[in-house]
Amino acid sequence: MLEFPIAELITPEEQVAVARAVAIMASRDEQVSDSERHFVEELMGQMMLLPEERDLVRREFTNPSDLVEVAHSVTHREARIFLYYQAVRAAFADSRLVEGEREALVELAEAFRFSGEHAVAFIKWVADSIELRERGQQLLVEM
């Protein structure tokens, strides 16, 4: 998994936009699972969002804004990569990638002018990383 020094790379405004976009991403399959909600909560904690910012993010679960519109407020390249990475992880938070989530990831990649080929490879890399981590955890349990 990737490590990002968030405070050094992403402005506070972009951090809120990232969290909002990830929450919107989680809502794309018409239901927000507990694991998706937990993922977004952990992300907000990692970015140390203020209580009122967290409330704004949580509203995206029930009344999602336009993903691309929110994402366009993230302007720095590093912040966009961080957002895309977190969006992919959020899509897999419930261990499955449904069509609405896949479409949203394509929209996001296009909005950021990421190469379609690279976006698909990146999604596969994240999925493979998650699978490897889960297999490693299972091996530890079985040892």
Instruction: Provide the CATH number for the domain around residue 52.
Output: 1.10.3680.10
Residue at 2 is within a domain = no
Residue 93 near residue 114, CB atoms below 8 Å: no
Q: Is 61 helix (H, G, I), strand (E, B) or coil?
A: helix
What's the pLDDT tens digit per position in 93-134? Answer: 887 888 888 899 999 999 999 998 999 999 999 999 888 988
Residue at 3 is within a domain = no
What's the pLDDT tens digit per position in 64-75? Answer: 999 999 999 999
CA–CA gap between residue 141 and residue 16 (Å, rounded): 37
Residue at 101 is within a domain = yes
Residue at 137 is within a domain = yes
The pLDDT confidence band at residue 7, using thresholds 50, 70 and 90, is low
Q: Is 64 helix (H, G, I), strand (E, B) or coil?
A: coil
Q: What pLDDT is stored for residue 94 in this prediction?
A: 80
133: domain range?
8-142
Residue at 16 is within a domain = yes
CA atoms within 13 Å, Cβ hemisphere of 99: 0
| Number of independent structural domains in the chain | 1
